[in-house]
Structure 1
Amino acid sequence: MRKPLAALAWAMRILLAKHTVPRREPPFAVDLAQYHADDYEKIIPSLAAVERQLKAVPADAKGMRWIHRSDAVLFYGERRFDVPYDDFVSQVDIGHVGRFYRDSLGVTTEVVLRDDLGRPVHQGVRVVALPQPNYTALMGKEELDVYKLEKIEYGPDEQRVWMLTVHSPNGSARCDDGYMSFARAADGRGTTVAFLACQSFPVPPLMALARMDRWTWFKTVVTESAYRRFCNRMMKNIERCYHGTEFRVGRPCG
């Protein structure tokens, strides 16, 4: 926990000079030996059920959908890229989706199981990212810091990574589960990237103190705006990755 002046300086740096924030190489401190093969699979049925619920909700003009619960937000967004699927997956690695997140500062991966082609199937991932939306840093929100178990599926027409949150060192997330998929478009000429999230984050301390989180309309507007920015930037990062251009926030380590 930063002291008040240090926290204010850090928040202003995020808001005004985000490009100067140093990237991270976070150590991986969770013992993956405590998890079994079933642990990587168990999130799939519940996320498949969430997917069905979200797809029953009308999408907005950008293909995004929300379901607001008292203790969580369910989100789905997708974007079509006019790039052939086989070309797309040869350039964009489904095994490193954490680095595409908006304001991702660092991702550390530990592979547990690979397939016959050497591709990761089960892995643990630690992701550290700036608070979302950025202005919540002024309200005392910490960096996102989560460990996830990931199950990756590879098919001729789709690749998908399922993500289950197992630990948050700083308590920044109660739940940050979901999936990302790369799929061959129905017309066979493009690639559809989809992102599903089932997330529950603590309310920033100052927002909770002001009881702003109890204003349902305000919470809905702010939340959906934040998800739009997050998803749009994530899709842009994926596009930049495909083209081989820099997309990460902050300055390099070292």
Structure 2
Amino acid sequence: MPSILSAVARATRIVFAKPTVDRVEPSFDIDLDLYHEADYEKIIPQLQDVERQLEAVPLDRRGMRWVHLADTVLFYGERTFDVPFDDFVSRVDISHIGEFYRDSLGVTTRVVKRDERDRSVHQGVRVVALPQPNYAAYFGKENLDVYKLEKVEYGPDEQRVWMLTVHSPNGSAVCDDGYTSFRRTPDGRGTIAAFLACQNFPIPPLMALSRMDRWTWFKTLVTESAYRRFFNTMMDSLLARYHGNDFRVGRVR
């Protein structure tokens, strides 16, 4: 009984009192020496295949796309900021993109390789975030906790970070791969921020027990709603960082 009560209390805090949740500084416990140059490079062709699948689907009126597979969701969204590209990337560091995820509680980064301008090119990242959607905590969903390999590219008109999941300590993700990009608009006046994801998150225990995931229409409805909230919050956080405003969830102990 105490464990059930504590789980309910945790979920209630996440849903109704999120600002009181403590931020964290995750340890980094995997050995990046086990990975080589090819492990960072192979991220790209895998995600380019995901990109091709998504490009076959038209953008909806919100600038988003989905492909629903048996256990995996492919997603793409983009938003245009009325901010010059060079100005935007000078204030928003794409190599720290995990900080901008909705409800990110803590991010730890280990740089493996830098370019001639001392910018991170290959890195390992651990991200801890509240469960998405938040109410899934009532169904027993744990915090997202993933390690990723990231390859960062810096071009004159686009920056992009490619991400590949290599470990989830609590089993909260089978895969949480994708990319985030910042690119100059065709007219040169603004910046387009884009987010692509290939994600497989285990069904929360109580939802699996109730077999609610059998209702395809319901699963699609709640999944797409959660992605919209995640994406819109992420875009708002990027803009907040550009303007120098605080966007982090939770509190510092």
Task: Please give the TM-score of this superposition, normalised by the length of structure 1.
Answer: 0.98
Name 1:216's counterpart in structure 2: 216
Report the equivalent of 1:196.
Answer: 196
How many Å separate the matches in 2 of 1:46 and 1:37?
15
User: In the alignment, does 2:249 pair up with 1:249?
Assistant: yes
Query: What are the Cα deviations for residues 128-184 of structure 1, in whole angstroms up to 9, with x where unaligned?
Result: 000000000000000000000000000000000000000000000000000000000
Pairing of 1:62-81 with structure 2 (within 5 A): 62-81=62-81
Task: Please name the residue that 1:236 is paired with.
Answer: 236
One-letter amino acid of the counterpart of residue 189, structure 1: R
Q: Which residue of 2 aligns with 1:44?
A: 44
Residue in 2 that maps onto 1:164: 164
Quick one: distance in 1 between partners of 2:229 and 2:60? Answer: 14
Q: CA deviation at 1:59?
A: 1.1
User: 2 CA distance for matches of 1:154 and 1:116?
Assistant: 12
Distance between the aligned counterparts of 2:3 and 2:48, measured in 1? Answer: 42
Aligned to 1:115: 115
In structure 2, the residue corresponding to 1:77 is in which secondary structure? strand
Q: 1:97-176 alignment to 2 at 5 Å?
A: 97-176=97-176
Indicate the SS of the match to 2:22.
coil
What is the DSSP-based 3-state SS (H/G/I as helix, E as strand, rest coil) of the residue aligned with 1:189?
coil
Q: Could you list the runs of 4 or more consecutive aligned residues of structure 1 that deviate by over 4 angstroms after TM superposition?
A: none
**Equivalent residue of 1:125, what SS?**
strand
Q: Which amino acid in structure 2 is aligned with residue 72 of structure 1?
A: T
Residue 56 (structure 2) pairs with residue 59 (structure 1): no
**Cα distance in 2, alignment partners of residues 229 and 158 from structure 1:** 25
Structure 1 gap segments, 5+ residues each: none
- Residue 235 of structure 1, CA deviation: 0.3
Determine what percentage of the aligned residue pairs are the same residue: 72
Amino acid at match of 1:164: L
Cα deviation code 1:202-252 (max 9, x no counterpart):
001111001000111110001000000000000000000000000000002
* In 2, Cα distance between equivalents of 1:55 and 1:249: 32
Q: 1:94: which partner in 2?
A: 94
Q: Gaps (5+ residues) in structure 2?
A: none
Partners of 1:164 and 1:232 lie apart in 2 by 22
The letter for the 1-side match of 2:50 is V
Task: Letter of the 2:197 partner, please give it.
Answer: A
Aligned to 2:187: 187
- Cα offsets for 1:58-89 (capped at 9, x unmatched): 11111000000001000000000000000000
With 46-55 and 59-68 compared, the bigger mean Cα shift is at 46-55
Give the distance between the partners of 2:231 and 2:55, measured in 1 at CA.
17
Question: Offset of 1:3 from its aligned partner?
Answer: 2.0
The residue type paired with residue 202 of structure 1 is: P
Q: How far, CA to CA, are the matches of 2:3 and 2:100 in structure 1? A: 30
Q: Distance in 1 between the 2:99 and 2:236 partners?
A: 12
Residue type at the aligned position of 2:64: M
CA distance in 1, matches of 2:145, 2:87: 32
Moved more, 74-83 or 39-48: 39-48
Secondary structure, counterpart of 1:238 in structure 2: helix
Name the structure 2 match of 1:33.
33
Aligned length: 252
